[in-house]
Structures are given as structure tokens and as C-alpha cells.
A = this chain, B = another copy of it.
Amino acid sequence: MQLSKTSQYAIRILAYMADKKDSQLINAAELAETLYIPYKFLTKIMTELVKVDLVTSIRGREGGYKLKKEISDIMINDILDLFNDSIKDEQCVLGIGFCNGLCKCALHDQWMKPKFLLQKMFRESSLEDIAGRGCKK
């Protein structure tokens, strides 16, 4: 019952970048060390974030990454969607899913409320909302 490592890392990375001043480049080594994320795994994630236009990359010496959009425009749910990790309306806590719009799962009723809260939290929280908390060990 938790987010994938990839999603966790991506959120921590973007939250950290959101705390930096605009136009300030941050390189992979700094991110990896500060956030305790394996360097090679981090660069793989960064390349993904660049591809979907959340981050701009500058290659070569003195290069690095910076956020491409306003921090108020990047929602946590957008990040989760990249790694297929957001909570879908039809997601059943017991892995059964909906049939004809109806979930017959034993825990259906109890699951509705926390599911809604999680969706709301992910959909309505932007990087701006969570900025300033840092995100360290």
C-alpha cells in the first residue's frame, strides 16, 4: 500500500527543485546526494521528466536541470500519472474492479472515502503547495 519508488523519487526531486530559485540549474549529482537517490536511477527518471516537458535540461559542462513550468502548474497527480501510479476512479482496493459501473468488492463502502481523499490530495496539491517543507531524510 504505497507509491512506487519511482513516483516517490520523482515527487521528492521536483519538490526539491521547486524550493530553488528560478533559473537556477541543479545537476544530477547534487540531487542524488541531497535526496539519497541512486545516481543512475535518478538520471533515468530525470530523462523521463525532460521528455514530458516538466523539466528542461542543459547538456554539457555546467549543465543541469531546471523546472520548465510554474510550480503552481505542476500537480502531484500529473507526476503520478507519468508512472501510472495515480488512483483511478474504478480502482478497487481488493483488485476486483468495477463491473457494469458497480463494484461488488467486500470493502467497497469503506474504501470510497480514503480513496476520494487520496485522489483529492494528489489532484489539488501543486509543487507550490508543498514547497518549503524540504524533503530530506
Interface residues of A (CB under 8 A from B): 1-3, 5, 8, 11-12, 15, 76, 85-87, 91, 93-97, 99, 104-108, 110-111, 113-114, 117-118, 121, 125, 130-131, 133-137
Does B2 lie within 8 Å of A135, measured CB to CB? no
Does B3 lie within 8 Å of A93, measured CB to CB? yes
Q: A135 to chain B: which residues have CB within 8 Å?
A: 94, 96, 104-106
Does A104 lie within 8 Å of B134, measured CB to CB? yes
How many copies make up the complex? Answer: 2
Q: In the complex the two chains form, what is the Cα distance from A107 to B126 in whole Å?
A: 10
Q: A2 to chain B: which residues have CB within 8 Å?
A: 1, 91, 93, 95
- 14 contacts across the A-B interface (CB closer than 8 A): A1-B3, A1-B86, A1-B118, A2-B93, A2-B95, A5-B95, A11-B94, A11-B107, A12-B106, A15-B106, A104-B136, A106-B130, A108-B133, A114-B117
Partner of A87, one of B1, B108, B121, B137: B1
| 5 additional A-B residue pairs with CB within 8 Å, beyond A5-B95, A94-B135 | A76-B107, A99-B137, A104-B135, A114-B117, A114-B121
Q: In the complex the two chains form, what is the Cα distance from A50 to B116 in whole Å?
A: 35
Q: A136 to chain B: which residues have CB within 8 Å?
A: 96, 104
* Known pairs A3-B93, A3-B94, A93-B2; A121 contacts B130 (CB<8 A): no
